[in-house]
Structure 1
Amino acid sequence: MKTTHIRLTIATVLLLGIYSCKKGEATTSDYEVSTSADSAVLNTSDSVSSVATMSVKDKQFIKTANVDMEVKDVYDATISIEKSVQELGGFVTHSNLQSRVVSEDTYNTSNEEAMLVKKYQTENTLQVRVPTAKLGELLTLINDKKLFLNSRIINAEDVTSSIKYAEMEGQRIKKTSENISELKTTKDKVKMSDENMSEENQQKLANLDVTDNLKYSTVDLFIKEPKLRIAEIAVTNSKNIDNKYKFNFIYDAKNAFVEGFYLIQKILVGLVAIWPIIIIAGIAFYFYRKNKSNKKSIQAHEE
């Protein structure tokens, strides 16, 4: 069994050697991107998928990766990953490090002091771009930081046909431009020329995007810590301070006396403002009493 394993290993090495010797470089006029891997990529750890280092003759691949994992310390892992990306010739396009607070409680330790206890979990969402030839090496470095890998997705999109189609579209746009230039100068010619130029610019922009995506691979990462952290922050005992200034008898009694005096003034001013109503009410009451007295006199006379 051991002899068979050795033979298979030797055969595999020979096949890889033959494949490496025969491996060519697929280029086009618009996309001068090499697909040959350097020695660092060839020595990539077995923990990295072959998709990250795949190279096929006459094929062009846009490679992307998505990693979700748990690390011991998010901040340290973030600094290490960002440094590794820069050393590999890449760059960071997004980094959102934040602490998600799960609970927050304040415990009074004395009349003046208290302790704020926060339970939180730190996480970070990153997006980095690294030369495609270095993708496997970067994923190996990232893998070394993990405590637990939740998921890892690596994509290699074959865009060879799209590149060929883009070349044909470029030739068509060029031929259309030549045909338009032979027409007589009219408003229609100007409009056609403008539309063709706009289409040409859009095609150039698409070509630049594809070239950039072929040269640099995009890696999206989500890292977090597996357990909650606890932060103890010394603060002031706010409850005791509130009780200290919550009620002042002398001050409040003085204010109540002044407010009562102002209330009497407001009542008097209000009565003055409604003097017509008071006079009318007084006259009505006078006639009412007078009428009531007359009725009593008549009743007494009849009896």
Structure 2
Amino acid sequence: MCSSPSSKNYNYNEGAMDAEVVIEESSSTNGLVSVPAEAKPQKIIKTSYLKFETQDLEKSYSAIISAVKVNNGFVQDDNSNKSYNTITRHLVIRIPTSNFQTAIDAISENVSYFDSKRISAKDVTEEFIDLEARLKAKQTLEKRYLELLNKAKNVKEILEIERELSNIREEIEAKQGRLKYLQDKVSLSTINIEFYKLTSEAPVTTSYGTKMWNAVKGGFNGISVFFLGILYVWPLIVIAGIAIFLLRRWIKKSKK
């Protein structure tokens, strides 16, 4: 807990704060001492991954988009790629959570077989409640420090209180950002869809004449590489030539 920002006593008694906003570490699971909160609706993040083969990419795409529009969703990301014999399209769909299962069923109606179909749900209710409680505590603490700031009597006290306020504000913004992120994931479910089509592209054949010409060019390239290699080692060739010349002279003198 942030202590009083000055050696003076500001009569700032954290124990006098409401039980909900006391943020001293305790034996509770989240480190908060809080009064029992009213039961809140569950916060569930739902996601799905669908993968299937299709014979008509455009027809499948149109069927998916139709199902998305009917369920008030939208396409967040759309990309395509092509490999040797496969054309693939990947969509990231955002759907209101209340229409999540309806959208999955509508998309599935036009698919005879799924290579992969995965649906998951993550309960973030506890994290949501914990963040709200901590946010409320930090906001109350910020208010207390603002009151102390108005009572500060010198520059040192003002600077120390403002430093604490800056730290508290950073924590508040971080918690607000996390809450906003969770709320977005809870209110809009995510569906990843990957569908593909196999193609029958024949490999390019090479004529016999082309193969012969490639072989001739390969021969010339080989000769060029050979002579280039000789140029790289010419000092060794010169040294070897001189050594052979001197050796032969020495042999002739030895015979005489």
What TM-score comes out, normalization by structure 2 length? 0.58
Distance 1:247 1:142 in 2: 58
Residues of 2 paired with 1:96 and 1:229: CA distance?
Answer: 18
Higher CA-based Rg: 1
2:57 is aligned to 75
Contact in 2 for aligned 1:60/1:214 (Cα 8 Å): no
Which residue does the alignment assign to 1:31? Answer: none
Cα distance in 2, alignment partners of residues 145 and 286 from structure 1:
96
Partner-residue secondary structure (3-state), 2:102: helix
Deviation digits for residues 20-68 of structure 1 (CA, Å, limit 9, x no counterpart): xxxxxxxxxxxxxxxxxxxxxxxxxxxxxxxxxxxxx952433413243
Q: CA deviation at 1:216?
A: 1.2
Quick check: 2:142–2:168 contact (8 Å CA) kept in 1?
yes
Distance 1:61 1:172, change over 3 A: closer
In the TM superposition, 1:228-267 aligns within 5 A as 229-232=199-202, 235=204, 237=206, 239-247=208-216
Question: Post-superposition shift, 1:222?
Answer: 3.8
Q: Does the alignment pair 1:217 with 2:189? A: yes
Deviations 1:90-147 (A, max 9, x none): 333344544554xxxxxxxxxxxxxxxxxx3554443211222332332232112211
Corresponding residue number in structure 1 for 2:134: 169
Q: Does 1:138 align with 2:121?
A: no
TM-score by length of 1: 0.50
- Check whether the contact 1:68–1:222 (CA below 8 A) recurs between aligned residues: yes
Is the alpha carbon distance of 1:287 and 1:121 closer, same or farther for their aligned partners in structure 2, counting shifts above 3 Å?
Answer: closer
Residues 1:189 and 1:98: Cα distance change in structure 2 (over 3 Å): same
Q: Could you say which residue in structure 2 is the equivalent of 1:33?
A: none
Distance (whole Å) between structure 1 residues aligned to residue 214 and residue 121 of structure 2: 65
* Structure 1: distance between partners of 2:67 and 2:194: 16
Instruction: State whether residues 177 and 193 of structure 1, in contact with CA within 8 Å, keep that contact through their aligned partners in structure 2.
Output: yes
**C-alpha contact (below 8 Å) 1:68/1:152 kept by paired residues:** yes
Taking structure 1 as reference, are residues 99 and 279 closer, same or farther at Cα in structure 2, changes over 3 Å only? closer
The aligned residue for residue 91 of structure 1 is 74
String of CA shifts for 1:56-81, please: whole Å, max 9, x gaps. Answer: x9524334132435343362323432
Confirm whether residue 274 of structure 1 aligns to residue 246 of structure 2: no
Which residue identity lines up with residue 200 of structure 2 in the other structure?
A: I
Structure 2 distance, partners of 1:175, 1:143, is 50
Contact 1:69 1:148 in 2 (8 A): no
CA distance in 2, matches of 1:278, 1:207: 88
Q: Call closer, same or farther: CA 1:207–1:82 in 2, change over 3 Å.
A: same
* Residue identity in the other structure for 1:274: I
User: Which residue of 2 is the match for residue 113 of structure 1?
Assistant: none
Question: Of residues 126, 138, 153 in structure 1, which corresponds to 2:91?
Answer: 126
The aligned counterpart of 2:117 is 151
Q: Using the alignment, how far apart are the partners of 1:279 and 1:207 within structure 2?
A: 89
Gaps of 5+ in 1: 1-56, 102-119, 291-303
> How large is the RMSD of aligned CA atoms in angstroms?
4.2
What per-residue deviation string (whole Å, max 9, x for no partner) do you get for residues 172-218 of structure 1?
11111122220543554333222101101101101211221232111
Structure 2 unmatched ranges of 5 or more: 1-38
- Name the structure with the higher strand share: 1
Preserved contact between residue 69 and residue 146 of structure 1 (Cα < 8 Å): no
